[in-house]
């Protein structure tokens, strides 16, 4: 996450910028709005975790996290602190490649999400987000040791990922939730 902000306010440098790893499902609501449903979001900043969990009932968890770069190789690490399961972890290493100028249908499907669906006090809401198109790069998975998927209550992956992409990120702004 980098300088995430609400409405038209500028992103907050410290509290709005932190490593995050999420386990998510892709969704479409009854109005046809495409989004994601987060099963878990590991983040390294406690205050955003507490705020998201308390005010918005988003399943953030506080984790010890780092992102290391060595040339084109990036290593993301995460280890859960609270609320758990304590010790759930991930270490992902990728080698970034060339920029993608025309995403495939699958690449577009995986990255063109403009909101999230979530249960807010028993009511399904859609939280729109706005951001430019993700700058995508090809990537090669060099290493993957994780149990975040099963910790989120989903079955373990049955093989290597179908798609491995890298993006340096985009600025994201969230707007008012709608029903």
Question: Rounded to whole angstroms, how far apart are CA atoms 15 and 154?
Answer: 29
Average pLDDT, the chain: 87
Q: What is the pLDDT of residue 168?
A: 87
Angle, alpha carbons 82-129-152 (nearest 5°): 30
| pLDDT at residue 12 tops 60 | no
Q: Check residue 176 and give its pLDDT.
A: 81
Cis peptide before 83 (omega within 30 of 0): yes
pLDDT tens by residue, 33-87: 999 999 999 999 888 888 888 877 889 999 999 999 999 999 999 999 999 898 8
- pLDDT (0 to 100) of residue 20: 87
Ordered DSSP codes for the chain: --S-EETTSPPPTTTT---EEEEEEEEE-TT--EEEEEEEEEES-HHHHHHHHHHH---EEEEEEEEEEETTEEEEEEEEEESSSTT-EEEEEEEEEEEPSS--HHHHHHH---EEEEEETTEEEEEEEE-PPP--EEEEEEEEEE-HHHHTT-PPPSSS-S--EE------EE---B-
On the question of pLDDT at 8 being above 60, the answer is no
- Residue 108 and residue 101 in contact, taking contact as beta carbons nearer than 8 Å: no
Is residue 145 very low, low, confident or very high in pLDDT (cuts 50, 70, 90)? very high
Closest CA relative to residue 114, chosen from 31, 57, 176, 174: 174
Domains in the chain: boundaries: 5-174
164 pLDDT above the threshold of 80: yes
Roughly how many angstroms between the first and final C-alpha of the chain, as a whole number? 26
pLDDT attached to residue 177:
82
Look at residue 7 and tell me whether its pLDDT is greater than 80: no
Q: Is the pLDDT of residue 19 over 50?
A: yes
4 pLDDT band, cuts 50/70/90, is low
Whether 2 has a pLDDT exceeding 50, the answer reads no
């Amino acid at each position: 996450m980098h300088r995430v902000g609400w409405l038209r306010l500028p992103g907050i440098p410290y509290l709005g910028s932190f490593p995050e790893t999420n386990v998510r499902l892709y969704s479409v609501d009854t109005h046809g709005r495409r989004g994601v449903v987060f099963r878990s979001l590991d983040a390294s900043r406690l205050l955003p975790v507490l705020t998201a969990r308390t005010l918005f009932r988003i399943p953030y968890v506080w984790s010890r996290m780092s992102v290391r770069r060595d040339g084109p190789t990036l290593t993301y690490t995460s280890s859960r602190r609270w609320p758990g399961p304590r010790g759930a972890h991930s270490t992902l290493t990728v080698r970034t490649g060339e920029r993608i100028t025309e995403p495939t249908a699958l690449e577009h499907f995986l990255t063109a999400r403009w909101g999230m669906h979530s249960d807010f006090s028993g009511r399904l809401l859609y939280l729109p987000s706005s951001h430019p198109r993700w700058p995508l790069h090809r990537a090669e998975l060099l290493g993957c040791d994780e149990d975040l998927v099963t910790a989120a209550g989903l079955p373990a992956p049955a093989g290597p990922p179908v798609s491995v992409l890298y993006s340096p990120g985009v600025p994201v702004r969230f707007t008012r939730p709608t029903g």
